[in-house]
Structure 1
Amino acid sequence: MTLVDLSHPLWAGMPKIPILPEVERHQIAAIADGAPMNISSITLALHVGTHVDAPSHIVEGGTPIDELPVERFHGTAVVSRVDRKPGEEITVEDVLAGGPEPERGEFLLVATGWSTKFTSPEYGDHPSLSPALAEWCVERGIPFVGVDMITPDLPVHRRPQGFDFPVHRTLLGNDVLIAENLTHLDGLAGRRVRLLAFPLAIRGGDAGPARILAEI
């Protein structure tokens, strides 16, 4: 058994969607200053870094992250390699060409290679899942979709006026969980893996930071 870490570490000032506050880390106590132990804190929005979105992220009255059964966060996942440019839509055909066809109940991870740009301004200009692909996932019975991008929807600067997050609405509105900001998917492309994607159980949380691992 080999475990592959699909998560980005958290650090102060790390990349994020512009609307979100900066990640901050504070040293509360330090051994170097005479304290008996080191103690620090971190302040971050729940949608920074590698995380899992709960239905309550976009559905009023939807299930929050802490009320989802833990069984929802692990399962067999198909990793599909897709080569698309910024602003282009990832289609059902792309997913089927890039890996095994997911069976009902299997997770889908879309590997675009965008995680290599995580600390670059280019990270914010990425491909997106087509609304038709999101609908296909629902019809196919896929309970969990993960991407190595900041969002499966259109990049922020490419969104038209009145943009309503169709991919988020289709997936989360049908109880399909979303993992964002994954990394190290390229080496798993075209394979089936066992995914362990347990988020923090934040009471009432619309998402949860997660340490996501693939078991091969």
Structure 2
Amino acid sequence: MTLHDLSHQLWAGMPKIPILPEVERHQIASMADGAPLDISSITLALHVGTHVDAPSHAVPGGASIDEIPLERFHGRAVVASVDRKPGEEITVDDVLAGGPEPQRGDFLVLHTGWGERFTSEEYGDHPSLSVELARWVVERGIPFVGVDMITPDLPVHRRGPDFAFDVHRTLLGADVLIAENLTGLVPLAGGHALLRAFPLAVRGGDAGPARIVAEELPS
């Protein structure tokens, strides 16, 4: 069995959206200074790096990340490869052309290539899911969507004053979980994978940092 790590590492000063605080790493105790053990801490917003959004992120009264059953984070996924430019919308046709047709219960992971740009200035200007695609996901009975971008919605700098996060609200409002900032999807693109996307069970959390891994499956 070969596992593919789809998660970005965490480090101080790593990329994030402007509204979030910087990731900080602190050395609490060090053997180099005479302590018996090395102990460090990290401070990060729940939406930095690879993570899973809970419904409470966009839905008042929605489930928090610790309230979601473990079974919801494990399943067969279609990894669709799509080729869209910054600001363009990813459509249903793009998904169907990019891999096997998702069946009810399948997860859907979108490989756009942006995961490999995580540390570049280009990363913040990415494609987005169309609202029609989000509605199709709900109608199709797909319970989990993963993207190798900051968000499935429009990039921050392309949003107008009345921006309503329609993709987030459509998916999370229908209890479809969202994983963001995936990477390492190239070997899986265009096929099936067994996805394990277990987030930290942050009590009351609107998201959970996650180590997401996948195993390639025969299509």
Q: Under TM normalisation by the shorter chain, which class is it?
A: over 0.9
What is the total number of aligned residue pairs between the two structures? 216
Match of 1:6 in 2: 6
What are the within-5 Å matches in structure 2 for residues 112-151 of structure 1?
112-151=112-151
* AA in 2 matched with 1:100: P
Q: CA RMSD in A?
A: 0.4
Structure 2, gaps ≥5 residues long: none
Aligned residue number for residue 84 of structure 1: 84
**Structure 2 equivalent of residue 213 of structure 1:** 213
Whether 1:193 aligns to 2:193 is yes
CA deviations 1:19-48 (Å, max 9, x no partner) are 000000000000000000000000000000
State the alpha-carbon separation in 2 of the partners of residues 114 and 164 from structure 1. 23
1:160 alignment partner, SS class = coil
Relative to the length of structure 1, the TM-score reads 0.99
Classify the secondary structure of the residue corresponding to 2:132. helix
Aligned partner of 2:63 in structure 1 is 63
User: Which position in structure 2 is the counterpart of 1:172?
Assistant: 172
SS at match of 1:122: helix
What residue number does 2:159 align with?
159
The unaligned stretches of length 5 or more in structure 1 are none
Percent of matched pairs sharing the same residue:
79
- Cα distance in structure 1, aligned partners of 2:128 and 2:28: 40
TM-score normalised over the length of structure 2: 0.98
Q: After the TM superposition, which parts of structure 1 deviate over 2 Å for at least 4 consecutive aligned residues?
A: none
- Give 1:215 deviation, angstroms: 1.1
1:51 and 2:45 matched: no
Whole-angstrom distance in 2 between the partners of 1:189 and 1:96: 13
